[in-house]
Amino acid sequence: MGLSGSRSSRDRPRWRVFISHTTELRNFPEGISYVAAVERAISAAGHVIVDMDYFPAADQTPAQVCTARVRSCDVYVGILGYRYGCPVRDQPEVSYTELEFDTATEAGLDRLVFLLDAGADDTGIPRLDKAEVELAERQDAFRRRVLDSGLHTRSFGSPADLGQLVERSLREMADTRRRISSGIQREQVPAEPQPVRSSKFINPPPTVAPAWFQGRQGETTLLARYLASPDIRMVSVVGRAGIGKTALVCRLLKGIEAGRVPDQEGGAAAVTVGGIVYLSRNSAHQVAYPTLVADLLRLLPADKARRLRLMSQKLSPPDMMRALLETFPAGKPVIVLLDNLESVMDSEREALAEPALQAALTALLTAPAHVLKVIITTRVTPTALLKVEPARQRQLPLDEGLGSPDAENVLRELDEGGRLGLRDAPGELLDRLRLLTRGFPRGLEAVKAILDGDRTVTPQDLVDRTDRVPEDQVVQLLVGEAYGLLDASARQVMKALAVYPAPVSEVGVDFLLRPVNPTLDSAPVLRRLVRRQLARCHDRHYDLHPRVHSGRAAGACR
Ligand SMILES: Nc1ncnc2c1ncn2[C@@H]1O[C@H](COP(=O)(O)OP(=O)(O)OP(=O)(O)O)[C@@H](O)[C@H]1O
Ligand SMILES: [Mg+2]
């Protein structure tokens, strides 16, 4: 599928647009029919109309003619009313319109589908006659199938409505195609040659803690102490989804990158590290043995790294790990973050699914003294790993949400402009919300997302609504509701982010969603999702909060 179709002299795209419709839409209403309105819009945009009315007589069967005609086009426009229309002569199990839709789908055409609104006052189309009533069930099923396919559709009630919708959709589609094609070129060709840069901090951190991060002073200080202790090689931060594990660790590591430990009142000694490697399931640098080795090598001088890289082909993971550990100079610690370790665990055995990673981490724990330190964040306790050299490990359980007034502060901060009724709410109400969410940071964010998504809901409503819900289900319920309030485009964007293994650019999302929504401009949708704390943005690339990969919202997402 070409991105832009052929171009006219004024460099406007010129597409062959197939119009799929049943006969009554061409005949009614008298004056300007639905199809006539669509044709006007297509011509006005400078495109070529292709309609099945123009089918020439040929030696092929009707089904063959129909599919060949659809396939010859750049864009499919389906107008679906309540009549099923004629079954195809040589393929009577489908009507022409259904066959055209399926062909456009198989051929990967950009599809614009418009559905006649049953609730419209006067559609100008006569009622179904007896024969058509019998086929109406098939049309219902077809319409349902189109809707359930996830395709972005629009509904119309009059020819004027429809004409405007088609005109606008074609314009948006041209914009989307242009954006995708220039964006892809831009992403393929780096703006300027990338200088060889040696940084001590490998990969972006999986999250940046918010400016309104509250509390966790005790845990932060403890974690910093563990990192400073030469006897400790591995720390596991364990706690349920959304409790704030990644934010806690990344805030500390960001401070360490800048040479200080957060929450230390003046005069604290400067911290220096030999380097930090961030591995996370939400980035291109996954928690896996090959990435661990490759990214640690990036911290070594080029000649040593080259030598070790060559050896890595032959050495077993424990031997390779030991060789690496010996190569790092003594002195400054090198920190590796393995974020969301549970995502690479076999949760039944509470052990790592990748034997090479298990062996490498075991070697790191058992080897003679070295500078490497691993921080793990995980929802599931890595029981098998904890049994290896337990004296060299520490666990940092994160069981509790934020207390008072930290949770209340977060709620107020999340409502920067005061429009959600949180910033200026009485302390008592915020305290109720804290108790309700048990201070779980992700629950607090869900409160914001719900209020932001439905301005008729007040904080008090949320308290009332969740009064009888069992405590352990409130956060899940809030998160699910925040997702439920999204419109169709935002859900599509969330879906696209959920299937993408690494953070993706705006253009990447447009491209990914083109089969179901060829007119989408995802940029404002992405910004809205970030504002509502439902997605994250880093370096103009977006990914989902891990909650959407699992748990309740994921079900709704699929
Ligand atoms: N102490 C805090 N103050 C304010 N916001 C916080 C705090 N801790 C976490 N958050 C915010 O809450 C959200 C959830 O936190 P985080 O991603 O760290 O959870 P997690 O425990 O790592 O979850 P998961 O198991 O899904 O990875 C994030 O948006 C984070 O910025
Ligand atoms: Mg996390």
- Distance (Å) from CA 207 to ligand 2 centroid: 8
Asked if 477 and 523 sit in the same domain, the reply is yes
Considering the domain architecture, whether residues 353 and 210 belong to the same structural domain is answered as yes
Q: Residues 425, 452: one domain?
A: yes
For 414-463, the pLDDT digits (tens) are 998 899 999 999 999 999 999 888 899 988 998 998 898 888 889 999 88
Q: What is the pLDDT of residues 51-94, one digit of tens each?
A: 886 555 667 888 888 898 899 899 999 999 999 998 998 899 99
Q: Are 279 and 343 in contact (CB under 8 A)?
A: no
Q: Kindly state whether residue 48 falls inside one of the protein's structural domains.
A: yes
**Ligand 1 binding pocket includes 246 (Cβ within 6 Å):** yes
**One domain for residues 432 and 533:** yes
pLDDT above 90: percentage of residues in the chain: 52
Of 152, 186, 220, which closes a domain? Answer: 186
Which of 379, 397, 415 terminates a domain? The answer is: 397
What separation in Å is there between the alpha carbon of 552 and the centre of ligand 1? Answer: 17
DSSP characters over 379-427? SS--HHHHTSSGGGEEEEE------TTHHHHHHHHH-TTSTTS-TT--H
For residues 360 and 410, membership in a common domain is answered with no
State which of 397, 424, 442 marks the end of a domain.
397
Owner of token pair 């996370």: 280
| Of the candidate ranges 136-150, 174-188, 292-306, the one whose mean pLDDT is the lowest | 174-188
Given a contact cutoff of 8 angstroms between Cβ atoms, the answer to whether 317 and 360 are in contact is yes
Q: Is the CB of 448 under 6 A from ligand 1?
A: no
CA atoms of 381 and 348, how far apart (whole Å): 11
The SS3 call for residue 315 is coil
What is the Å distance from ligand 1's center to 470 Cα? Answer: 22
> Looking at the structure, do residues 277 and 220 belong to the same domain, yes or no?
yes
Q: What is the CATH number of the domain that holds 177?
A: 3.40.50.10140
Is the pLDDT at 555 greater than 60, yes or no? Answer: no
What's the total number of domains in the chain?
3
Residue 193 lies in a domain: no
H or E stretch at 156: strand 153-156
Tell me if 241 CB under 6 Å of ligand 1.
Answer: yes
70 and 21 in a single domain? The answer is yes
For residues 453 and 10, the model is more confident at: 453
Residue 159 is part of which domain span?
6-186
The whole-number pLDDT of residue 483 equals 82
Is the pLDDT at 187 greater than 70, yes or no?
no
Would you say residue 1 lies in a domain? no
**Minimum mean pLDDT range among 203-207, 266-270, 526-530:** 266-270
Q: Are residues 125 and 23 in the same domain?
A: yes
Residue 366 resides in a domain? yes
Q: Are 300 and 177 found together in one domain? A: no
- 210, part of any domain: yes
Ligand 1 mutation pick, 442, 448, 552, max ligand atoms within 8 A of CB = 442
How remote is the CA of residue 543 from the centroid of ligand 1, in Å? 15
Q: What is the pLDDT of residues 352-372, one digit of tens each?
A: 999 999 999 999 999 999 999
Question: What's the angle, vertex CA 138, arms to CA 135 and CA 142, rounded to 5?
Answer: 140
Backbone angles phi, psi at 219, to 5 degrees: -65, -40
One domain for residues 416 and 508: yes
More confident residue, 54 or 242: 242
298 and 378 assigned to the same domain: yes
Same domain, 253 and 392: yes
| 15-19, 179-183, 258-262, 542-546: range with lowest mean pLDDT | 542-546
Q: Is residue 136 part of a domain?
A: yes
Does the CB atom of residue 206 touch ligand 1 within 6 A?
no
Residue 34: how many other CB atoms lie within 10 Å: 29
Cβ atoms of residues 506 and 183 within 8 Å: yes
Q: For position 256, which CATH number holds?
A: 3.40.50.300
Domain membership flag for residue 191: no
Within a domain: residue 322? yes
CA of 175 to the centre of ligand 2 (A): 36
